[in-house]
Amino acid sequence: MAGGTKKFLRGLNLEQKQAITHKNGPLLIVAGAGTGKTRVITDRIAYLILSKSAKSSEILALTFTEKAANEMLERVDTAMPLGYEEIWISTFHSFCDRILREEGLAIGLNTAYKILSQIEQWHFIRKNFFRFSLEYYRPLSNPTQFIHALLSLFNRAKDNDVTPEEFLTYSRELEANSPDEEETRRIKELASAYQSYQDMLLEENCLDFGDLQSFALRLFRTRKNIRRKYQEKFKYILVDEFQDTNYAQNELLKLLVNPKKNIAVCGDDDQSIYKFRGASIANINQFTKMYPERKRVVLIKNYRSPQVLLNHAYRLIKNNNPERLEVKEKIDKKLISASTQGNKDTVEFKRFETPENEAEWVSDKIISLHKKGIFYQDIAVLARNNNYLNSIITSFRFHDIPYRFVGNRGLYDQEEIRDLIAYLKFLMNPQDDIAFFALLSLPLFKIEMESLLLLLNFARRYNEHLYSVVKNIAHLKENLTIAPETIKKIEQITNFLESEINLIKKKSASQILKEFLEESGYLKELLTVETIENVRKIQNINLFFKKILQFETGNPDKSVLAFGEYLDLMQEAGDNPAQAEVEDIEVVNLSTVHSAKGLEFSFVFMVDLAEGRFPFYFRREEIPLPDPLIKEEISPEDMHIQEERRLFYVGMTRAKKRLWLTASSSYTIAKNWRISRFVKESLEKVAAEIQTKLPLRTLSLSPKEKKKYFFDLPITLKNFSYTQFKDYERCPFFYKLKHIIGVPELPNSSYSFGQTIHLTLKEFYSLIKNKEKVNVEKLLSFYEKNWINEGYLSKEQETEQKIKGRVALEDFYCINNSNFGEPVYLEQFFKVNLDQDVFLRGRIDRIDKLPGGKYEVIDYKSGNPPARKNIDREEQLSIYALACEEVLKFFPEILSFYYLGTNEKISTERKSSDLKAIKEKLLSVISQIKRKEFPPIGNQRDCKKCSYRLICPKSIA
């Protein structure tokens, strides 16, 4: 074993080493809470590469969420000492999407499909609703009542690998054998609706997330050559959070595993809490049946919590026996703490008369902890449901305790987003008095509420709309006692709004909203003082912008009216996306237990622990999948309570030092709420008395202690790109606005066109690389398929650019037809370790092999070439040369830019000294970023060209 690998394994316990160094064959890693399971998975990836058991490109690692996949990537980065080729680390859905984009044509799938989110699924069915043959599930009084239920059924069917054809076959069998005619009609209606839904999706070239799994399964089942290709490619498969996988995902794994069966799964049945999202605990429970020869490693050494707390958690979870893996596999899963801390007060239960009393006690305790030097960010308050945190929020606001939601929805409920929605609603309908009043009330306009109320009352008295009154304010000033300077302000606002109303048919919703944010001073006001709250608001605005741009990408009508109608429908469907999370800031964490999975905090409060609230009452699916169609192992009758118990267990095991369990006896007036059974199961003794001595509103922070929580985000720079490098060089303050604070930017047409060209040539050269026949028609069909319509100022501009691009590609084909080169890498990912914790990431468009075994790097540019001397100095090509040397292990003799604007290739070369120079330059910029050096460039010419010039508080344009 190499010395580096020995060093790499230091500090691990025996079981962790066994899991990491396991050579061949199936491996089941049973990893309890806080036992370092994610480190085991990522270190196993690094071990396989460093021990030369597999190349990085021969490893597939799958997990449940994008966040978990990103964390896994970051951990692998830290573990790997050098640059490396891309490892396939992703969620199941992202993996299936990647496979289908590359191979879907083999099963007749148009690979330019659009993936629908859950809310977009609802909108899709709503739009096509009367094309479904529904009677039972389309009541006259409320025709769309069952859309959500139907979607849940379709998604559940796909999670269970049930196709529309299987559902239809079942309905026919039921019709032939069942005496219950009404039930037969109901099932036939559902089967028909499922088939119709699938047909309509394909008709519009859309897939939902379940389809990604379904079509990947179809691909591997019907195209054995493709299945064999990926079995040979992936020598090792690793799966994290295996207890969260569904039946279809497990079937996919069975198809991907090669004859050597090098599959390692890591999970904990006691933390399986996603049944409502289709997760099947049967997968981990039956792994031994699938692979009898498997090696099993059990991780029970806990590096998070005191033993006292772990004992209480174990006492709770044992109530799920005999369905637990501990019983079925005959193993010991009782966690053993690596810490010697903890005493009888480590876990405490408190009961209160009202939720307000409960919240006040929690606030009091947190203020007390903070005064003792405990950071707010080390504290979490967890509840079964978001709504159960309302009393806590009210109390926190009173006491000025800073907080944030972890993984919380509610973007549209935030003040800054309500402001923007009010603006859009006003533009859609200037007679909307509520929206217009909300606009005039914005603090940045500084109009006194007394003046606004006078205007509103005047409008109501004369039966006029508020906007009509305000437009004529100059003629009405004798009738209104409003100060002249206020009238002037109102006139300025009205003039701006009038001009925007006249433009709503000519400009897109994103353009209109950007103008409002810039010209009203809304963004500039938020940037003037960088508090936590202001940065969070900017990031929320950025998220809302992305929502608008997503709509504009998929819709020919990009107007405010079209987006407004779409937003109304989305909100009707229940859409309310997650708001921004500003990481690593000094605030208390509020979260549901589900969202806290995978996290840890020194001090944890679990609140609202009453029977009926935690455990939550069981709610049967509105339209369940018929039992005969369920392919996974049917759960026992008390599975709901078992899952709720596992959820409670997850909540308890988030705590590193102390855990408080709290409950109230009166969450509603008409009921005396009993203490949750889980509190009683986890504690030996539960105090019956209700806390009466309460700190009601007494321990607020003193005026001296109250402060504005200024934004001082630690710079955790893990990945760095050429774009970030150039943005910092252009203006460090621009870098801060874009990459750290997250000020929204509109897409520009140049970027969209460049992306279109890159995607087109990638697909075209994939055919050449695979020795397939090509022609100009195929090239142009890829161009049509990959066209991106974002950022164009008008349809005319888009059409003109599209024609130019088409002509350029036709010329490209003619010029290169005799020799398209010998591509060996396309869109080649690279990751270069620049220093201890920062990686340079990127992709190289194309690398060709030249005669004599030499290599040429080619980067496409959609415009015209600059002066030759600029290309010789171009840092992007130096970075690509560095990536080739450190990751691909060869030095490219030629580096070229291919300019589609003129269809000419300009080549240059690099020396070792150039690579050293670019590395030093990159490290210098990274060092400045880490030191938080973000001075404005102070150049009037550059400021005038900057997209942030109107909102930048440092601009001299």
- Residue that is last in its domain, among 572, 592, 620: 572
Angstrom CA distances, 454 to 349, 434, 475, 479, stand at 54, 15, 15, 10
Least-confidence region, from 100-109, 221-230, 692-701, 870-879: 692-701
Q: Check whether residue 851 and residue 806 sit in a common domain.
A: yes
Arithmetic mean of pLDDT, 666-683: 86
Please list, residue by residue across 61-74, b when 16 or more beta carbons sit within 10 angstroms of its beta carbon and e when fewer do: bbbbbeebbbbbbb
Please list, residue by residue across 161-176, b when 16 or more beta carbons sit within 10 angstroms of its beta carbon and e when fewer do: bbbbebbbebbeebee
On whether the CB atoms of residues 331 and 296 are closer than 8 A, the answer is yes
Please list, residue by residue across 181-204, b when 16 or more beta carbons sit within 10 angstroms of its beta carbon and e when fewer do: eeebebbbbbbbbbbbbbebbeee
Phi/psi region, residue 400 (left: phi>0; alpha: psi -120 to 50; beta: rest), is left
User: How many CA atoms does the CB half-sphere of 407 hold within 13 Å?
Assistant: 16
**CATH code at 614?**
3.40.50.300
The answer, yes or no, to whether residue 696 has pLDDT greater than 60, is no
Q: 282 versus 626: which is more confidently predicted?
A: 626
pLDDT computed for residue 705 by the predictor: 46
- Residue that is last in its domain, among 696, 712, 728: 712
Arithmetic mean of pLDDT, 620-630: 90
Q: What is the dihedral angle through the alpha carbons of 921, 922, 925, 930, rounded to the nearest 10 degrees?
A: -140
The answer, yes or no, to whether residue 479 has pLDDT greater than 70, is no
pLDDT computed for residue 654 by the predictor: 97
- Residue that is last in its domain, among 673, 691, 712: 712
Least-confidence region, from 428-432, 601-605, 706-710: 706-710
Q: Check whether residue 607 and residue 646 sit in a common domain.
A: yes
* Domain extent at residue 634: 304-402+581-712
956 assigned to some structural domain = no
Q: Check whether residue 470 and residue 398 sit in a common domain.
A: no
pLDDT computed for residue 543 by the predictor: 92
Residue ranges for the known binding site are 31-38
pLDDT confidence band for 357 (50 / 70 / 90): very high
Q: What is the dihedral angle through the alpha carbons of 785, 790, 793, 799, rounded to the nearest 10 degrees?
A: 0
953 assigned to some structural domain = no
pLDDT computed for residue 740 by the predictor: 85
The structure tokens 């902890």 sit at 369
Q: Check whether residue 232 and residue 89 sit in a common domain.
A: yes
935 assigned to some structural domain = no
955 assigned to some structural domain = no
* Cis peptide upstream of residue 615 (ω within 30 degrees of 0): yes
947 assigned to some structural domain = no
The answer, yes or no, to whether residue 652 has pLDDT greater than 70, is yes
Each residue's pLDDT tens digit, 436-448: 888 888 888 888 8
* Beta bridge pairs of residue 936: none
Q: Check whether residue 785 and residue 707 sit in a common domain.
A: no
Amino acid at position 779, single letter? L
pLDDT computed for residue 152 by the predictor: 93
Long-range own/partner contacts, residues 932-939 (CB < 8 A, 24 or more apart): 932/715, 933/732, 934/732, 934/733, 934/735, 934/736, 934/740, 935/732, 935/733, 936/731, 936/732, 936/733, 937/730, 937/731, 937/732, 937/733, 937/734
36 phi, psi to nearest 5 deg: 80, 35
**CATH code at 807?**
3.90.320.10
pLDDT computed for residue 702 by the predictor: 47
Q: Check whether residue 919 and residue 795 sit in a common domain.
A: yes
943 assigned to some structural domain = no
Arithmetic mean of pLDDT, 800-828: 93
Arithmetic mean of pLDDT, 871-897: 91
The answer, yes or no, to whether residue 709 has pLDDT greater than 50, is no
pLDDT confidence band for 616 (50 / 70 / 90): confident
pLDDT confidence band for 339 (50 / 70 / 90): confident
The answer, yes or no, to whether residue 237 has pLDDT greater than 90, is yes
SS3 638: coil
pLDDT computed for residue 1 by the predictor: 44
Q: Check whether residue 279 and residue 172 sit in a common domain.
A: no
Each residue's pLDDT tens digit, 34-78: 999 888 998 999 899 888 999 988 999 999 888 888 888 887 877
CB atoms within 10 A of CB 431: 12
Q: Check whether residue 594 and residue 551 sit in a common domain.
A: no
Q: Check whether residue 833 and residue 909 sit in a common domain.
A: yes
SS3 663: strand
Arithmetic mean of pLDDT, 727-755: 87
Residues shown for the chain: 957
What's the total number of domains in the chain? 5
The answer, yes or no, to whether residue 634 has pLDDT greater than 80, is no
Amino acid at position 49, single letter? I
What tokens were used for 466? 């508020």
Each residue's pLDDT tens digit, 367-383: 999 999 999 999 999 99
pLDDT computed for residue 704 by the predictor: 42
Averaged confidence pLDDT in the chain: 88
Q: 287 versus 945: which is more confidently predicted?
A: 287
The answer, yes or no, to whether residue 84 has pLDDT greater than 70, is no
Arithmetic mean of pLDDT, 913-941: 88
Arithmetic mean of pLDDT, 687-712: 51
First to last CA, the chain: 61
pLDDT computed for residue 694 by the predictor: 54
pLDDT confidence band for 707 (50 / 70 / 90): very low
pLDDT confidence band for 509 (50 / 70 / 90): very high
Q: Check whether residue 637 and residue 528 sit in a common domain.
A: no
Residue 604 is given by DSSP the state E
Of 350-364, 521-535, 579-593, 783-797, which has the strongest mean pLDDT? 350-364
The answer, yes or no, to whether residue 650 has pLDDT greater than 60, is yes
pLDDT computed for residue 544 by the predictor: 94
pLDDT computed for residue 434 by the predictor: 87
Query: What is the pTM (predicted TM-score) of this model?
Result: 0.80
| Pairwise CA distance, residues 656 & 222, whole Å | 50
The answer, yes or no, to whether residue 706 has pLDDT greater than 50, is no
**CATH code at 443?**
1.10.486.10
The answer for residues whose C-beta is within 8 angstroms of residue 568's C-beta and 6 or more apart is: none
Q: Check whether residue 657 and residue 681 sit in a common domain.
A: yes
942 assigned to some structural domain = no
pLDDT computed for residue 106 by the predictor: 93
Arithmetic mean of pLDDT, 802-831: 93
Q: 617, exposed or middle or buried, with CB in 10 Å at 0-12, 13-18, 19+?
A: exposed
Of 408-412, 642-646, 692-696, 771-775, which has the strongest mean pLDDT? 642-646
pLDDT computed for residue 4 by the predictor: 57
Q: Check whether residue 555 and residue 619 sit in a common domain.
A: no
Arithmetic mean of pLDDT, 20-36: 94
The answer, yes or no, to whether residue 504 has pLDDT greater than 80, is yes
CB atoms within 10 A of CB 537: 22
Residue ranges for the known binding site for ATP are 31-38
pLDDT confidence band for 708 (50 / 70 / 90): very low
Arithmetic mean of pLDDT, 658-666: 94
686 assigned to some structural domain = yes
Each residue's pLDDT tens digit, 172-189: 999 888 888 899 999 999
The answer, yes or no, to whether residue 693 has pLDDT greater than 70, is no
Each residue's pLDDT tens digit, 161-171: 999 999 999 99
